[in-house]
Amino acid sequence: MGFAALSLGGQSPAHALEGAIKIGSVISLTGGASVYGNQVKQGIELAIDKINKEGGVDGAKMEAIIEDGAGERAQAAALMRKFAADPSILCVVGPIRSPVMLAISPIADQLKIPLVAPSGSLKMDFNKWTFRNSLLDDVASPAALDFARKKWGLKKAVILYARDDDFSMVGMKVFEKACQDQGITLLDKLSFMSKDTDFSAQLTKIKSLNSDAILIPILDQNAALVISQARQLGLEQPFVGSMSVGSPRLFELSGGAAVGTVAVTGFFAESDRPVVQDFVKRFRERFNMDPPTFAGYVTDVIGMIADACKRANTTTDRAKFRDALGATTNYVGVSGVLTFRDKGDAEKQPIVIQLGSDGKWHQAK
């Protein structure tokens, strides 16, 4: 029940779909998560352009109406209700971060409109109208820690997290449990505020603890500052990050100090899989940069939406579309071979990555 990624056009359909496939999107184009939101916007536009240039989905062209949720629950909820009230909108793509997802998912259930998120890593109870193509922190971060434990023989670690960020708070708890499960002694948990720029107090404390590694479930801009300041203070131990740390900007933002950092992803641009390399080539040609993780995730979201429309033979029937999307099996996407079990998270495997001296992420070895 799955198609190769975005390979849906180019043939004359036996029963052409009527009308356009209209998708609403609620993502963070401004605010603290705007860098990720704009990556998602790029992925949406690239995926839809490819499908439409190849003839659409059984003749039906795709269209995305992208709105800025700004990472705010109330703003995203208002946009969700706006899209749900428009019968021409088949489904909604977004949001970027889990706290917003938790706020608008009940609206999807209440108003019976499919919601498909291209990111978010917090565990949640899914209603039948909510789907997500991401990688959970409680799968991803332990995989990164396990790699580091085996590579460097880690026995002691500290966690540095943002206490005013829900994502980071949950990430801290995931790393804490992973340390327990893997027999690593957690020496301390130190925190900061997301807008802080001086981490000397926390890093001086970490230096006195003589840990084997520093675990950082934080956003890339915070990680870059933390790592560069740590190296300036003479801390030499490796950093192990959550998915947000595995950003294509980390090398540049850290001034090269982040080389050797370990992180984890569900999409890896250096994969030799043909479907990935085709996507990377098109993304580089259009945006003059390597595709970031969230662009890969949302490319598969758009592809699975197109695939479900084709199988459900509809552009407007939300219930039929929902059922087809929930039945997606072995969809060959750029972020893996994906399957939904009627709702919730697509099944995929984490990929541990390490930042090289060339400024690029490589599969960790």
Confidence at residue 138, expressed as pLDDT on a 0 to 100 scale:
87
> In this predicted model, what pLDDT tens digit does every residue of 298-340 receive, in sequence order?
999 999 999 999 999 999 999 999 999 999 999 999 999 999 9
Residues 118 and 301: beta-carbon distance below 8 Å: yes
Burial class of residue 66 (count of CB atoms within 10 Å of its CB; 0-12, 13-18, 19+): middle
**Whole-Å CA distances, 355 to 139, 256, 345:** 20, 10, 27
Residues 171 and 150: beta-carbon distance below 8 Å: no
CA distance 365 to 354: 8
Confidence at residue 5, expressed as pLDDT on a 0 to 100 scale:
54
Task: Supply angle C-alpha 291, 344, 293, rounded to 5.
Answer: 10
CA distance 272 to 2: 21
Confidence at residue 236, expressed as pLDDT on a 0 to 100 scale:
96
Confidence at residue 107, expressed as pLDDT on a 0 to 100 scale:
98
Burial class of residue 261 (count of CB atoms within 10 Å of its CB; 0-12, 13-18, 19+): buried
* Spatial CB neighbours of 29, under 8 Å, sequence gap ≥ 6: 37, 38, 41, 66, 68, 70
- List the domains of the chain with CATH numbers: 21-135+271-348 (3.40.50.2300), 137-265 (3.40.50.2300)
Residues of the chain with pLDDT under 70: 1-15
Confidence at residue 12, expressed as pLDDT on a 0 to 100 scale:
39
- Secondary structure string (H, E, C) spanning 98-142: HHHHHHHHHHHHHHCCCEEECCCCCCCCCCCCEEECCCCHHHHHH
Residue at token pair 């978010």: 120
* Spatial CB neighbours of 348, under 8 Å, sequence gap ≥ 6: 133, 135, 266, 335, 336, 337, 338
